[in-house]
Each structure stands twice: as structure tokens, then as C-alpha cells.
A = this chain, B = another copy of it.
Amino acid sequence: MIETYLLEQLLAFSKAGTLSAAAESLYISQPALSRSMKKLEDVLGVPLFVRQKNRITLNENGEEAAKYAERILTQEEEMIRQLRMLEKRNHTIALGSCAPVPNYILPPILSRLYPEMTISQSISDEEKLVSGLKDGSLQLIVLHQKPVEDNVVYVPCGTEKLFICLPPDNPLSKKTEGVYLSELDGLNILLYSQIGFWYDLCREKSPGIRFLKQNDWESFGQLVDASTLPVFGSDYFFRLPMPENAPKRVVIPLLDEETFVTYYLTCLQSSYARFKPFFREVEGLSVDAPPLP
């Protein structure tokens, strides 16, 4: 049996070239390393070095042994990595959503139902969500369309409606009955970048919009407050108890039917048993503001 520290020290030597340099890199003394290498030769039963008076180098066996050592040490690292990942996966529920709103609503419910689990959340596009579900890196995903895959279970878990908030001096702000996305062509619109599929939708329907993207939520909020630039709004946010969501602006509904979406909470059939209580609770949930404190 070859103890791992011997392999580690051999590899360090093969990289450093001298015992002294290797010993330094290992934070041990040179004599200790010298002895270890002798011991390794003893354990393996073959000489690994050619020893001159003042110099020690790997022989053919030693070169070969160093390659093996590297492979084995890599395997051990891989073992640790994988086990920690497995442990983590068994203690976290990874939720992925196509839009921010489900990520506001669902995690609190998950935390209550599975108090011992860590809840992780992320936003990405439909393709990545589905592949994440399949490869096990996501346990729950929220789509804005019914999933077409087999082997999944889904329920509607709320709706969301998109609005555009325009400054009163904009001519479109008079059309209180609503506008189409295509009518926004050419506008400069403030946008928080983490909004999932909504961005793609607007880009598709109205390629001429010039988005002023903000990655930081705080900065975005300040820009909304400090300017009268148009911003998108959602019925979800309008119901939150914030004083003013988009002050100094007129809220106009969008008329494209795609701006009213239903969210579908989805999991693999194989994990449905585990999440059944959650699905029960969420089924038919309307995307509403959380209860006032």
C-alpha cells in the first residue's frame, strides 16, 4: 500500500527537479523528503532515482511513477469534489426560473416546506433550464410556457402582466387603453438586466428599442427615481407596498398577448413524489403581492 503523502512528495519532486526545491514547496525539510523518497522506493520495490554524489534525478521507473502519482492524486481530488457536490445536491433544492417574479414568490414557500434544505435560485433561458433539470443541476424550474418534454410534471403557478411606464410628456402616454410593443420602437428604455425571457420578448417584438441596461438593482432603482425615462413594469410590482414604483410616469398596458404570461412550475416525474406538497401549495397560485406585514 502506497501512502498518498509519498505520491504527493514524488510529484512535487518531479516538478521541482531538486529535493531542496521540492521540500520548500511542500513546506517540509529537505532531509524529510529525502527519507520519504527512499521509503517510496522501498514500498514500490524498485529504484526510482539515479543518485550521484550531489544530485538526484528520476530514472525511467521514477518518471513513470510520477505519471501514476499525478493520475492517482487527481483521482483523489476528483473524489473529494464529487462527494462534496453530491452532499450539497442532497441538501439543496435548486430552483431555476425564466423570470424574476417566481424567484420572489416560490423560495419562501420552499423554505417553509423543506426547512432543512438550502434553496438556491437562478434565472436563465428555457433551454438551459430544461437541460439543467435533466442533468440534475436543477430540481425545479419555472417556464412561461407549458413544457413539451416527457417525464416532467408541471402546474401553473401564477401569472404576470407587463406594462410600460411612460413620462407624461410622451405622446404614447395618452393611449391609456394600451400600446403595442412595436410602437415603442426608437425609445430609450431603462432596463434591469436580470429579467429573463422578458428581455428576449421585447427584443423580438420591437428590435428598435434602445435599452439602457443596469446590472445592479440599486442603481436601477435610483435611475428610475431620478429620471423620467420609460421603464417596464409588472402587475406584481405594482401591488407591492412600495410608495411609488415608477413615479412621475403613466402606466400603460401592453396589448401584445405575449405580455400576459402564465408560469409553469416543473419538475422531473422521478422527483415529483418529493415535491408533491410544494406543487399542491403552489397550484393555481396567482402571482400576487405577498401578504402585507
Taking Cβ atoms with an 8 Å cutoff, the residues of A that contact B are: 1-5, 8, 44-47, 60-61, 64-65, 68-69, 71-72, 75-76, 78-80, 82-84, 86-87, 90
Contact residues in B for A69 (Cβ distance below 8 Å):
79
Q: Once the chains bind, are B80 and A61 in contact (CB under 8 Å)?
A: no
Contact at A61–B45, with CB atoms within 8 Å?
no
Known: A1-B4, A60-B86. 16 other contacts (CB 8 A): A1-B8, A1-B76, A2-B4, A2-B76, A2-B79, A3-B3, A3-B4, A3-B5, A4-B4, A45-B80, A45-B84, A46-B83, A61-B87, A64-B83, A68-B83, A72-B72
Query: By DSSP majority rule, is chain A's interface helix, strand, loop, or mixed?
Result: helix
How distant is A266 from chain B, measured CB to nearest CB, in Å? 25
* A2-B4, A87-B61, A90-B60 given; A68·B44 CB < 8 A: no
CB distance from A4 to the nearest CB of B (A): 5
- A75 CB contacts on chain B under 8 angstroms: 68, 71-72, 75
Q: List 7 tightest A-B contacts by C-beta distance, closest first.
A: A46-B87, A68-B79, A46-B83, A2-B76, A3-B4, A4-B4, A72-B75
CA distance A68 to B75 in the complex (A): 8
Known contacts A2-B76, A4-B4, A5-B1; is-contact A83 B71 (Cβ 8 Å): no
Chain B neighbourhood of A79, CB < 8 A: 2, 44, 65, 68-69, 72
Distance (whole angstroms) from the CB of A46 to the closest CB of chain B: 4
